[in-house]
Amino acid sequence: MLVYLTTPFLLDYYMGTTTRGAGMILVVALGTTVLFLVPSGIAADFVGTRVLESAGIFLIAVGLAILAFAGSRLTMTTVVIAMAIFGLGGGIFASPNYSAAMGSVPRPSLGVAGGIYGTATTMATFFAFALTDAVLGRWGDVKGSSAGARLALLNPAMHSAARHVFVAGFIVAVLGFIVCLLKYRSIPGMEPAPVADKALRRVRPLPTED
Rounded Cα gap, residues 25 and 35, in angstroms = 16
Pairwise pLDDT comparison (19 vs 54), residue with the higher score: 54
Rounded Cα gap, residues 175 and 114, in angstroms = 24
Residue 1 has pLDDT above 80, yes or no: no
Q: Provide the pLDDT for residue 108.
A: 78
Average pLDDT over residues 173-187: 78
Residue 28 has pLDDT above 80, yes or no: yes
Q: Provide the pLDDT for residue 139.
A: 57
Residue 64: name the closest of 177, 165, 180 by CA: 165
Task: Decide if 44 contacts 183 (C-beta within 8 A).
Answer: no
- Kindly list the distances between the CA atom of residue 148 and the CA atoms of 15, 46, 151, in Å, as whole numbers in the listed order: 19, 55, 9
Q: Provide the pLDDT for residue 208.
A: 52
Percent with pLDDT over 90 in the chain: 17
Average pLDDT, the chain: 77
Residue 21: name the closest of 69, 79, 61 by CA: 79
Task: Decide if 91 contacts 35 (C-beta within 8 A).
Answer: yes
* Domain 2-142+153-184 CATH superfamily: MFS general substrate transporter like domains (1.20.1250.20)
Q: How does residue 165 score in pLDDT terms, banded at 50, 70 and 90?
A: confident
Q: What is the pLDDT of residues 79-109, one digit of tens each?
A: 999 999 999 999 999 888 888 877 777 877 7
Q: What is the pLDDT of residues 103-160, one digit of tens each?
A: 777 877 778 878 888 888 888 888 877 877 777 666 555 444 433 444 445 566 777 7
Rounded Cα gap, residues 9 and 195, in angstroms = 44
Rounded Cα gap, residues 180 and 58, in angstroms = 10
Pairwise pLDDT comparison (103 vs 78), residue with the higher score: 78
Rounded Cα gap, residues 10 and 79, in angstroms = 10
Q: Provide the pLDDT for residue 209.
A: 52
